[in-house]
Amino acid sequence: MKLDNVFKKTRLSSGRKGYISLSSARPEVPEGLLRKCNKCGSAIIAEDVKNDHYICPKCGGYFRVHAYRRIEMVTDAGTFEEWDTGLATPNPLEYKGYEEKLGALRAKTGLDEAVVTGKAQIDGMEVVIGVCDGRFLMASMGEVVGEKIARAVERASKERLPVILFACSGGARMQEGIISLMQMAKTSAALKRHSDAGLLYISVLTDPTTGGVTASFAMLGDVILAEPKALIGFAGPRVIEQTIGQKLPKGFQRSEFLLEHGFIDGIVERPQMKETLAQILMLHKQGNIEAEHSDDRDDADGNTGEARDQNEGFGKLSVNNQLASGWDRVQLSRMNDRPVGSDYIRELFTDFIEFHGDRYFADDKAVIGGIALFRGMPVTVIAQAKGTNTRENIERNFGMPSPDGYRKALRLMKQAEKFHRPVICFVDTPGAFCGLEAEERGQGEAIARNIYEMSGLRVPVLSVIIGEGGSGGALAMATADEVWMLENSIYSILSPEGFATILWKDSSKAKEAADVMRLTAEDLYRMGIVEEVLAEPSPYTIENLKEVTRVLESKLERFLSRYGKMSCDELTQRRYDRFRKL
Amino acid sequence: MIKKVLIANRGEIAVRIIRACREMGIETVAVYSEADKEALHAKLADEAVCIGPASSSESYLSMDRIISATIITGADAIHPGFGFLSENSKFAELCEQCNITFIGPDSKVIAKLGNKQEARNTMVSAGVPVIPGSTEAIYDSRTGAQAAQEIGYPVIVKAALGGGGKGMRVANTPEEFEHSFQTAQKETQMAFGDNTMYIEHFVQRPRHIEFQILADKYGNVVHLGERDCSIQRNHQKMIEESPSAALSEELRKKMGEAAVKAAKAAGYQNAGTIEFLLEKNGNFYFMEMNTRIQVEHPVTEWVTGIDLIKEQIRIASGRKLPFTQEDIKLNGHAIECRINAENPAKGFRPSPGTITDMYLPGGKGIRVDSAIYSGYTIPPYYDSMVAKLIVWAKNRREAVQKMQSALGEVIIEGIDTNVDYQYEILNRPDYLSGDIDIEFIAENEEALREALQ
């Protein structure tokens, strides 16, 4: 039965033709009650947006947040103390109408300039915070913005506090011309001094971060976070499109694009921003093993490291199965269900936070790196990452790092050095990725650079080979104070297949190769390449991972306490000697 | 007076409201989801606006879309029906902010009565009986036994963090208390990692008795008698009637007065329902107040002769109640059966689909409120209630007979319904005698299943 237009409509009482309401209050949506989401276009109730971190309840898109609201959202209530208000904005170009424009903006927004700076607490930890406010000339950086940031950073350096800057800016302020350009140098220089003083700077990029701000303070964080889908770039997308005459791909210059290209450490959803900042601050608050151990450097047991070495070094061969052949071990080291790097991170550490990107080209998923706590002590953890299934393995390129992976590892190691954190590496790679792109971006250079820099790293470095230790790709994360191996892991100049190909021109002779290469933990231990060999249960899977990590954990603790006591010079000298004698 | 109403609902209640408006010369606007293009309410209204996809959260629950539809069509009031946004204080507040008349109580009153603790406190201070319970957290059985004595047996020991029946035990006598308390507390510790207990009078086999009230903007409140909604399955009402076989004239007066007191204490306006639990000994306790029109309102309409939807609109327009308590007389007996598209043989699984053929009963004392028609496809996204069959006769016995007769005439082809199940309920001796309580369905389940085969 079709019911279209079959029913009679309401008959209005006689004389009423339409109507004029008696009350003057006609139904209407009052100003400000509803807003239109600029992302998905739907109407949303303004209060819902305010109550939910200024996120559209329909599409999850982010609205821009005013500076003071942002400070409220990420700091402890009532702890913010504002600094440097009321600085006069100059008009160096005597640009017509500039003062009037500023006056009008001040009246409208209640802000005195485009950035708010000051001191606050996050979970009780003191920080210096600066937040750009896009309502004020798109938070472009003129002299006052540069000055406020520089002053805040300088004061943070003096008070030895971490700095957090929330960037949101169109770039340099055109109206102030070359003076604006100089703010890029001023802020960057202040941050350089802050960093040289061994202090932390977290940069948070929000929509939009472009131009001279991207090309200065925004990109200089020890840790760079971004909000989802924020526009981040140097040249604006429209300018690029006009210049090159091409349409830009979807998602170009968004946070996700930057993450993929290695320029940010992570994307953090707004509701999690405060806890993420707190976690990073916490991981940097403790630390400084040098300072902690400086008192007992000439420690009571009176032994120098070397003396101890003779007593107990190279005395820890603990294997369950001495009969397995080289080839057996090769196969065991490649077993699909063997625990992988991420399993060890989860099992041995707490509060792990992963950081991404090499800051040059990409984020290599074959390497996982970040900071975590080991028994309360912050450490930098880096693992060559195989996957636990085929899909994950494809994503992680079967644990074969690209140059970007080594550069990410190095970046995190240099950061560990800055903050005096020990570095713990888990090695598990068939070898560095062998491919066109890898060569284009300098695979050899990346490996060399890692070996070179690691040899002089002024913090303790430990490498544990948990599976395959394939050639230079492994050494680039194993130029360490000590290298340990799991019983059925291998470490060699090349894969047995490669070895057979080069020497015998026949890759099918890999089995024979494995037996002559001396690539087992036992061989390497006897040759003095590794210091410890850890026994494995058989078969070794995630189920009994704890049997290994329990031993690893107590050995790790001993390693950290022993090497943590050494001076930086002693550490690097020993590391130098370790390889010098081979 | 309201001139144009937008009905923020669907199904038979939307149809019911459109009809009331039409009779009053008020224009109507229906809103519908993409799945309800062919729904009767959308066809019947003077105008219809599509407000989004099938999912309720994006259509019938989307406040901004409904508000926008109201403004665009120039309606000056919204009737929320029941379910969906009808008891959403935020929606009522939005209407207030937009100068749209929300046909229902004030948003603040909805919020207050929607909060269980606040509602209870309001009733306690107004002198409306609530289920007696311990006022403080209880951690040990000795203090508990004392509290139980004051409250009066039987009592139920509950986990303060409770839910899902975990950590709940009934103690009928002081002797049983120690054991019940210990067991409940142990369970609570296991389930919630906490041992905070709460003790409440256990209302044994109560009837669900609710009182309809109407309140205007001038402080006049009347009650329109009760509805007995004890026939429930999993807290879903199936059959409602008015008056209740369990209420004497005296008890009706007492409970009615309590209901009026409750409404006044809450500052209530418009139509509302106060739900009570009634014990066999005649004690009754406030459960909650529903701040909307209810599914079962037709039984009250029939025994009082008052059109509740029209009264709602008049009250919202600022009119005074045209009657006082003395004018309200309950005449005869009305019963309502909810007809659901569901299969009782398959665990009452919803049975959406196309109605291929249909015949509904009629005649003296029979009313059908429905939104179905031959060829209509019941979408799977919403409540399975598709029609209500209401009968009236001069006494309960005749009303039950009329209902049976009417149910026996219902033909709905193409989908499964609970019509036969309802028919069998009416056949149960306990139902016929009027000796019902909220355990009725649970107790008769087996017998009903057998009768259906």
Quote the distance between the C-alpha of residue B179 and its chain's center: 37
State the best of A10, A22, A26 to mutate against chain B, taking most chain B CBs within 10 Å: A10
3-state class (DSSP) for residue A150: helix
Contacts of B75 in chain A (CB under 8 A): 27
Per-residue buried b or exposed e for A146-162, using 16+ beta carbons within 10 Å of the residue's own CB: bbbbbbbbebbbeeebb
Q: Which of residues 35-64 of A touch B (CB under 8 A)?
A: 42-45
Q: Which two tokens stand for residue B20?
A: 């009331």
State the best of B88, B99, B107 to mutate against chain A, taking most chain A CBs within 10 Å: B99
Closest chain A residue to B376 measured between Cα atoms? A1
Q: For position A322, what pLDDT does the model report?
A: 64
B26 vs A9: CB contact, 8 Å cut-off?
no
Residue position matching structure tokens 């903006």? A105
Residue position matching structure tokens 């306006």? B269
Which residue among the candidates B65, B227, B252, B292 is catalytic per the annotation? B292
Residue A323 or A368, more confident: A368
Q: In what order do the strands lie in the sheet with B169-171?
A: B169-171, B155-159, B197-201
Residue position matching structure tokens 């036992």? A522
**Letter for the amino acid at A534?**
L
Whether A547 shows a pLDDT value over 50: the answer reads yes
Strand (E) positions, A471-570? 482-486, 490-492, 532-534
Q: For position A543, what pLDDT does the model report?
A: 87
CA distance A170 to A142: 11
CA distance A103 to B24: 58
At residue A36 the predicted structure's pLDDT band, cuts being 50, 70 and 90, is: confident
**Each residue's pLDDT tens digit, A338-380:** 999 999 999 999 999 999 999 999 999 999 999 999 988 999 9
Quote the distance between the C-alpha of residue A133 and its chain's center: 25
Q: Which two tokens stand for residue B61?
A: 């629950």
Where helices occur in A215-272 by DSSP H, the ranges are 237-244, 255-260
Whether A446 shows a pLDDT value over 70: the answer reads yes
Cβ partners under 8 Å of residue A473, min gap 6? A384, A400, A401, A429, A430, A431, A432, A433, A447
Q: What are phi and psi of B23, to 5 degrees?
A: -65, -25
The answer, for A20 touching chain B at a CB cutoff of 8 Å, is no
Task: Output the average pLDDT for chain A.
Answer: 88
Q: For position A287, what pLDDT does the model report?
A: 42
Closest chain B residue to A35 measured between Cα atoms? B64
Nearest to B239 by CA among B422, B113, B84: B422
Quote the distance between the C-alpha of residue B423 and its chain's center: 21
3-state class (DSSP) for residue A244: helix
Residue position matching structure tokens 């424009």? A101
CA distance A4 to chain B (A): 7
CA distance A121 to A90: 32
The answer, for A185 touching chain B at a CB cutoff of 8 Å, is no
Q: For position A439, what pLDDT does the model report?
A: 93
Residue B99: burial class (beta carbons within 10 Å; 0-12, 13-18, 19+): middle
Q: Which two tokens stand for residue A105?
A: 């903006």
CA distance B4 to chain A (A): 10
User: B211 and B276 in contact (C-beta within 8 Å)?
Assistant: yes
Q: For position B234, what pLDDT does the model report?
A: 86
Q: What are phi and psi of A338, to 5 degrees?
A: -70, 140
CA distance A358 to A411: 7
Nearest to B371 by CA among A3, A8, A9: A3
A1 vs B373: CB contact, 8 Å cut-off?
yes
CA distance B45 to B31: 9
B26 vs A6: CB contact, 8 Å cut-off?
no
Of A8-17, A137-146, B334-343, the least confident:
A8-17
E strand or H helix that includes residue B241:
strand B236-242
- Nearest by CB to residue A27, choosing from B76, B374, B376, is B76
Measuring CA to CA, how many Å separate A332 from each of A141, A468, A512? Answer: 58, 9, 16
B40 vs A3: CB contact, 8 Å cut-off?
yes
At residue A301 the predicted structure's pLDDT band, cuts being 50, 70 and 90, is: very low
Of A199-203, A325-329, A420-424, B184-188, the least confident:
A325-329
Answer yes or no: B22 catalytic: no
CA distance B74 to B100: 10
- 10 Å Cβ neighbour count for A512? 16
B99 vs A25: CB contact, 8 Å cut-off?
yes
Residue A10 gets which letter from DSSP? Answer: P
User: B209 and B278 in contact (C-beta within 8 Å)?
Assistant: yes
Of A15-24, A442-451, B184-193, B274-283, the least confident:
A15-24
CA distance A11 to B285: 46
Nearest to B271 by CA among B208, B315, B320, B323: B315
> Angle B70-B83-B208 (CA atoms, 0-180°, nearest 5)?
145
Q: Which two tokens stand for residue B232?
A: 């429930």
**Letter for the amino acid at B211?**
F
Q: For position A463, what pLDDT does the model report?
A: 96
At residue A23 the predicted structure's pLDDT band, cuts being 50, 70 and 90, is: low
pTM of the model: 0.74
Chain A with chain B: Cβ pairs closer than 8 A: 64
- Nearest by CB to residue A10, choosing from B22, B71, B97, is B22
Nearest to A473 by CA among A501, A448, A507, A441: A448
User: A365 and A385 in contact (C-beta within 8 Å)?
Assistant: yes
3-state class (DSSP) for residue A136: coil
Contacts of A7 in chain B (CB under 8 A): 43-44
Q: Which two tokens stand for residue A192?
A: 């350089």
Query: Can the peptide bond before residue B379 be classed as cis, meaning omega within 30 degrees of 0?
Result: no
| DSSP letter string, A413-440 | HHHHHHTT--EEEEEEESSS--SHHHHH
ipTM summary value: 0.82
CA distance A355 to A342: 14
**Each residue's pLDDT tens digit, B370-383:** 999 999 999 999 99
Q: For position B166, what pLDDT does the model report?
A: 74
Query: Can the peptide bond before residue B243 be classed as cis, meaning omega within 30 degrees of 0?
Result: yes
- Nearest by CB to residue A43, choosing from B26, B40, B64, is B64
Whether A302 shows a pLDDT value over 60: the answer reads no
Going by their DSSP bridges, the two strands A461-470 and A490-492 should be labelled as parallel
User: A380 and A337 in contact (C-beta within 8 Å)?
Assistant: no
B373 vs A3: CB contact, 8 Å cut-off?
yes
Residue A306 or B290, more confident: B290
Q: Is A130 left (phi over 0), alpha (psi -120 to 50) or beta?
A: beta
Whether A295 shows a pLDDT value over 70: the answer reads no
User: A509 and A503 in contact (C-beta within 8 Å)?
Assistant: no
Contacts of B377 in chain A (CB under 8 A): none
Whether A310 shows a pLDDT value over 50: the answer reads no
Q: Which two tokens stand for residue A308?
A: 């101890």
Whether A299 shows a pLDDT value over 80: the answer reads no
Whether A309 shows a pLDDT value over 50: the answer reads no
The answer, for A189 touching chain B at a CB cutoff of 8 Å, is no
pLDDT means per 10 residues, chain B with 453 residues, are: 95 97 96 96 96 94 93 95 94 94 96 89 93 88 91 89 75 92 88 85 94 96 97 93 96 96 96 96 94 97 97 96 96 98 94 96 96 95 96 97 96 96 95 94 93 87
Q: Which two tokens stand for residue B242?
A: 């008015």
Contacts of B99 in chain A (CB under 8 A): 25-28
- Nearest by CB to residue B25, choosing from A12, A33, A45, is A12
Per-residue buried b or exposed e for B1-19, using 16+ beta carbons within 10 Å of the residue's own CB: bbbbbbbbbbbbbbbbbbe
Which is it for the CA torsion A10, A16, A20, A22, positive or negative?
negative
| DSSP letter string, B266-286 | TT--EEEEEEEEE-TTS-EEE
CA distance B365 to chain A (A): 25
- Nearest by CB to residue B99, choosing from A9, A16, A28, is A28
Cβ partners under 8 Å of residue B144, min gap 6? B134, B138, B157, B177, B181, B197, B199
Average pLDDT (A241-253) is 91
